[in-house]
Chains A and B, each alone.
Chain A
Amino acid sequence: MSMKFDRPMNWKELPAGCLIDEAATSLRFKTGDWRSMRPVWNSEKCIHCLLCWISCPDSAIKVENEKITGIDYNYCKGCGICASICPPKASAIEMIREEK
């Protein structure tokens, strides 16, 4: 059974056993709105050491051609690991309060 997400499924449509029967369904759910703190990346300060990229638990640091291009706010939950791992001399990521 392929899972549908366009509307809530009823109990007869679900795969048995609380199974999610396909991979990578998390891509369909934008979980960035859980965030209360927002990392702001400064492209001029960044030395592209990629420490934030390898440390991010949500793979939310965007990289192209081995260079950081920004932060994926669809999935970033604002944990702040990127800001704390960023080398002090660079300090390219600042955490600010998420404003409505």
Chain B
Amino acid sequence: MKTVAKTGNEAMAYAMKQINPDVVAAYPITPATEVVQIFSNYVADGEVDTEFVAVESEHSALSACVGASIAGGRVMTSTSSQGLALMHEILYIAAGNRLPIVIALVNRSLSAPINIHCDHSDTMGSREAGWMHLYCANSQEAYDSLIIALKTAEATAVPAIVSTDAFILSHAMERLEVLEYSDVQNFIGEYKPRFSALDLENPKTYGPLDLQDYFFEHKRAQIDDFSKVLDAYDKAAKDYAELSGRYYPAVEEYKTEGAEVAIFAAGSTADTAKEVVDDLREQGRKVGLVRMRMWRPLPVEQIKATLGKFKAVAVMDRSDTMADFGGPVFLETRGMLYDSEEKPLITDYVYGLGGRNIELTDIARVYDDIEQVANTGKIEKLITYLGVRGEK
């Protein structure tokens, strides 16, 4: 283990180097370009054994990954925003064919208006594709998460997306600890694919037409296998904690003991909110933070158990559903808690779209709001657009 200074992109590229995948097929896109740019240097310098496939689009990038994965390879790529949108149809094909591909992703808003900065609308728009989703709060976590995600993906044959916040994490340098190459290799182990198109002794058909008679059965089986990801993730995360000393639960609690209200947030904003929680706790206020790290599959029972104990919860959504009913985390959180005997009053704060900065004072204001909700038992405003001009 050694201490280094790396940006989020450098940290993810370094994790990819230590994973040393068989194939990486990628197309550059701001702000994730550096991930594969740095990785292509590792390839050119002979520091990895990877076959690097430079393609003409993200659609082709993930398609090449699908082919390489069906051939039995350990496969990774990287993208962001429009790139993920262009991969959209192939996301479903990778997941449906049970190909444990891992994407190092940087969360960026979707056009229009065109913008290169952070929000979560890209991955939130892909959450039904059958991939595991992990949202990272810092560069250390981004490095660690790629390694944990790869292990989980290969154990379950479910592909994974690990994401950081555009520029806030991708381009900001932080201190982090990295493992030795041999430790990473021992942790992930040799990849033993469940099938390989290169296995000429056992020819199979991959991705055949599947109509009214069998499509539903195949989807039902896929949904069932997806439900096993949570346990596999938890095992991988705990094994990784033994190796590194860093444990990342699917749902993280921060100073929730004795808290009456909590913010439920993902990504770098959750780390920012910890500062606010520290300040407010010093003032004696009963506030806590719950960090949403895994959003697919949904850690339903953990979220219900964790959020169920508060009087009021503010969900922080860095994207909107365009349903005129707030963001996706809000909608799904309310859905999960609907049947709970003990449940908080839940409000939504859609914030930070297109990289709009979120200040400590913004987060403090959210705590003010939910304390009032907890005290009065009434929600004055269900959905707030936080930090946008023209709105209180």
Do the beta carbons of A18 and B218 come within 8 Å of each other?
yes
| Interface 0/1 of A1-40, CB less than 8 Å to B | 0000000111110101111111101000000000000000
The one of B97, B207, B221 that contacts A12, using a Cβ cutoff of 8 Å: B221
Binds A, one of B209-217, B262-270, B321-329, B379-387: B209-217
**Interface size in chain B (residues, C-beta < 8 A):** 25
Do the beta carbons of B208 and A20 come within 8 Å of each other?
yes
B198 CB → nearest A CB, Å:
15
Do the beta carbons of B220 and A22 come within 8 Å of each other?
no
Do the beta carbons of A21 and B204 come within 8 Å of each other?
yes
Bound form: Cα–Cα A20–B218 in Å: 12
Whether B392 sits at the interface, judged by CB under 8 Å, is no
**Given A9-B217, A11-B218, residue A18 in contact with residue B194 (CB < 8 A):** no
Do the beta carbons of B208 and A11 come within 8 Å of each other?
no
Contacts of A23 in B (CB 8 A): 203-204
**Chain A: which residue is nearest B225 at the CB level?**
A16
Do the beta carbons of B220 and A16 come within 8 Å of each other?
no
**Chain B: which residue is nearest A17 at the CB level?**
B98
| Interface 0/1 of B79-98, CB less than 8 Å to A | 00000000000000000111
**Chain A: which residue is nearest B207 at the CB level?**
A18
Do the beta carbons of A10 and B194 come within 8 Å of each other?
no
The one of A10, A16, A20, A25 that contacts B157, using a Cβ cutoff of 8 Å: A16
**Interface size in chain A (residues, C-beta < 8 A):** 15
Whether B42 sits at the interface, judged by CB under 8 Å, is no
A26 CB → nearest B CB, Å:
9
Do the beta carbons of B98 and A16 come within 8 Å of each other?
yes
Chain A interface main SS type: loop
**Given A8-B213, A21-B195, residue A16 in contact with residue B221 (CB < 8 A):** yes
**Given A17-B96, A18-B96, residue A11 in contact with residue B221 (CB < 8 A):** yes
**Chain B: which residue is nearest A19 at the CB level?**
B204
Whether B224 sits at the interface, judged by CB under 8 Å, is yes
Do the beta carbons of B96 and A14 come within 8 Å of each other?
no
Do the beta carbons of B224 and A11 come within 8 Å of each other?
yes
Bound form: Cα–Cα A11–B215 in Å: 10
The one of B97, B202, B224 that contacts A17, using a Cβ cutoff of 8 Å: B97
Contacts of A16 in B (CB 8 A): 98, 157, 194, 221-222, 225
**Chain A: which residue is nearest B194 at the CB level?**
A16
| Interface 0/1 of B23-41, CB less than 8 Å to A | 0000000000000000000
Contacts of B225 in A (CB 8 A): 16
**Given A11-B217, A14-B214, residue A20 in contact with residue B205 (CB < 8 A):** yes
Bound form: Cα–Cα A9–B220 in Å: 13
Interface centre among B203, B217, B224, B225 (most CB of A within 10 A): B217
Contacts of B206 in A (CB 8 A): 17, 19
| Interface 0/1 of A42-53, CB less than 8 Å to B | 000000000000
A19 CB → nearest B CB, Å:
6
**Chain A: which residue is nearest B195 at the CB level?**
A19
Listed by A's residue number, 29 A-B pairs whose Cβ atoms lie within 8 Å are A8-B213, A9-B217, A10-B217, A11-B216, A11-B217, A11-B220, A11-B224, A12-B221, A14-B217, A14-B218, A14-B221, A16-B194, A16-B221, A16-B222, A16-B225, A17-B96, A17-B99, A17-B194, A18-B96, A18-B97, A18-B207, A18-B210, A19-B97, A20-B205, A20-B208, A21-B195, A22-B202, A23-B204, A25-B205
Using A17-B157, A18-B207 as known contacts, list a sample of 18 further A-B pairs with CB atoms less than 8 Å apart, ordered by residue number in A.
A8-B213, A8-B214, A11-B220, A14-B218, A16-B98, A16-B221, A17-B98, A17-B194, A17-B206, A18-B218, A19-B204, A20-B208, A21-B195, A21-B202, A22-B202, A22-B203, A23-B203, A25-B205
Chain A interface (Cβ within 8 Å of chain B)? 8-12, 14, 16-23, 25
Closest 5 pairs between A and B when the two form their complex, measured CB to CB: A17-B98, A20-B205, A11-B217, A11-B220, A23-B203
